[in-house]
Structure 1
Amino acid sequence: MAERVGARESESTEEGPDLASRQFHIQSKRFYVDVKQNPRGRYLKISEISQARGRDRITFPMSHVPAFRDHMRQYVDYLSENEAKTPDGGVLKQTDYTANDRRKIFFELRENERGRFLRIFYDGNYGTKSSVAIPGSGVSQIHEAICSLVEELGSEDHALITQDTVPDSLQFLAEGKKFYFDPGSNQRGVFLRISEVQRSYRNSITIPHSAWEEFRDMLTHFIEQMPYQGPSSRGDDLEDI
């Protein structure tokens, strides 16, 4: 069963704190599935800790995680559909694919006297290999944790923007209505909430940051097509909040 873990201090200042973490005890090993953030952006780290091997880990930029998750799914399905122990053991299934950063990621499902395990590895820096070996009984748990973290935090590499760094809210009055422009941020990114307020009701729309320029261009198009001829409501009515 997964345990939610608070923001742990990282092993180095380069890694930065956890944004979210899941911890598992599988057989004699501990596994951490963490989303971390450093100056280069956000990434997923899977760590395996055991007395025999110490600590092993693999890391991926968040934008790569959906492809990794989807590839891992076939091993979850294989283990579910092929539960019986094979007489010969050895390699049961082996695949690889190329990540969007051109690394080749290898999956190798093996079986020995201790049972089945999934080894995931790739060539690291300076000729080393980064790898983890997940017992077969825990592959589904690790996969579910990855799915939930992507659902919770999204799969963008960018560093999370805090509420302190977004622009200030603005408001103005026009034809008896107040219009509020409230930028904000959450775990999915930056957004702008535009609200139309009268005494009896309030209507709002939320525009993700990725659509701001297109929204502006659409509005500019209609302004140019039908310029307003009446008195302007801009100027002194525009207020910081």
Structure 2
Amino acid sequence: MSDRDSTEADEQAQRGRSDLASKTVVIQSKRYHIDVKENRRGKFIKITEVSPIGKNRLKMSMSAAADFRSHLESFCEYYVKLPPSDPDNLPEDGMLKSEMVMKENRRYYLDLKENDRGRFLRVSQTTIRGPRSHIAIPAQGLVEFKNTLTKLLDEFGMDQETESQHDLPESQHFKIENKTFYFDMGSNYRGIYMRVSEVQPRNQYRTSITIPERGLQRFADIFSDYADKIKDMHDQEQDQQSGDQGGD
């Protein structure tokens, strides 16, 4: 064992984390290490992209990785049906196909893009407290990457914590004007909660509030009350305008 491996092992032991499996995929000049790890919260997937200019990393719960794998299948099917790349006729924004995975307090943006160097899948991860991280996978290696991830998921499956979280209602979001609002259900040792987040489009800066389960109904009642009052106010204004027009 090298000094580096020994140091990492010591750090993992101190954090209560263990390595369960690891596979490597080589695509062009990049290497991708797909690791299954486990800590006190359960099993998770760590993906490390190693390129000549450095390293990029993503972490996913087992359920998020399963959703990611499902989307990879659709991206692979989409990619093989694309016509040959034309460097003189690239998409204006480079975007070919886009999807999003929402799990717990994280979001994963999957963007199949094209530039003068070729086609690639950019996978970006955002969290409430941390900055965005991402990896980029050359499109011609998507099938091998997906198959490798599938083997690990088939072997290690879903842990109990992830399965219990998967029973919670699915996340939802909507856009209004230039804002996007996300509604996520989660759970921890304190119980079930809802997180409501607003994301600014320019810098992806996120602000959030967390509502415990016991306060959800009261929260909904107050929202509904204000929505009804605003609707009544607009209805009265319309009635008044109609009356004024009738008087003329």
TM-score by length of 1: 0.56
**In the alignment, which residue of structure 2 is the partner of 1:38?**
39
**In the alignment, which residue of structure 2 is the partner of 1:106?**
109
Of 110, 135, 149, 2:138 maps to 135
Which residue identity does 1:41 align to in structure 2?
G
- Which runs of 5 or more residues in structure 1 are unaligned? 1-7, 160-241
Q: CA deviation at 1:39?
A: 2.1
Please show how residues 206-225 of structure 1 align to structure 2 within 5 Å.
none
**In the alignment, which residue of structure 2 is the partner of 1:156?**
159
Please show how residues 19-168 of structure 1 align to structure 2 within 5 Å.
19-52=20-53, 54-86=54-86, 87-89=89-91, 90-99=94-103, 101-124=104-127, 126-156=129-159
Q: CA deviation at 1:64?
A: 2.6
Q: CA deviation at 1:139?
A: 1.1
CA contact (8 A) 1:124 1:130 kept: no
Q: CA deviation at 1:45?
A: 1.0
What is the DSSP-based 3-state SS (H/G/I as helix, E as strand, rest coil) of the residue aligned with 2:17? coil
CA contact (8 A) 1:61 1:157 kept: no
CA contact (8 A) 2:110 2:124 kept: yes
CA contact (8 A) 2:107 2:125 kept: yes
Aligned length: 150
Alignment deviations for residues 161-191 of structure 1 (CA, whole Å, 9 cap, x no partner): xxxxxxxxxxxxxxxxxxxxxxxxxxxxxxx
Q: CA deviation at 1:79?
A: 1.3
CA contact (8 A) 2:46 2:59 kept: yes
Alignment deviations for residues 105-129 of structure 1 (CA, whole Å, 9 cap, x no partner): 2111111122111001121364411
Kindly tell me: are residues 28 and 157 of structure 1, through their superposed partners in 2, closer, same or farther at Cα, counting changes over 3 Å? farther
- Which runs of 5 or more residues in structure 2 are unaligned? 163-248
Cα RMSD, aligned residues only: 2.3
Please show how residues 224-235 of structure 1 align to structure 2 within 5 Å.
none
CA contact (8 A) 2:120 2:137 kept: yes
Structure 1 or 2: larger helix share?
Answer: 2
Kindly tell me: are residues 15 and 65 of structure 1, through their superposed partners in 2, closer, same or farther at Cα, counting changes over 3 Å? farther
CA contact (8 A) 2:107 2:127 kept: no
Q: CA deviation at 1:63?
A: 2.9
Tell me how far apart the structure 2 counterparts of residues 122 and 15 of structure 1 sit (CA, whole Å).
24
Tell me how far apart the structure 2 counterparts of residues 17 and 111 of structure 1 sit (CA, whole Å).
38
Tell me how far apart the structure 2 counterparts of residues 61 and 41 of structure 1 sit (CA, whole Å).
8
Of all paired residues, the percent bearing the same amino acid is 33
CA contact (8 A) 1:43 1:61 kept: yes
Kindly tell me: are residues 64 and 127 of structure 1, through their superposed partners in 2, closer, same or farther at Cα, counting changes over 3 Å? closer
Alignment deviations for residues 173-223 of structure 1 (CA, whole Å, 9 cap, x no partner): xxxxxxxxxxxxxxxxxxxxxxxxxxxxxxxxxxxxxxxxxxxxxxxxxxx
Alignment deviations for residues 60-117 of structure 1 (CA, whole Å, 9 cap, x no partner): 1113322221122111111122151142141111122322x04222111111122111
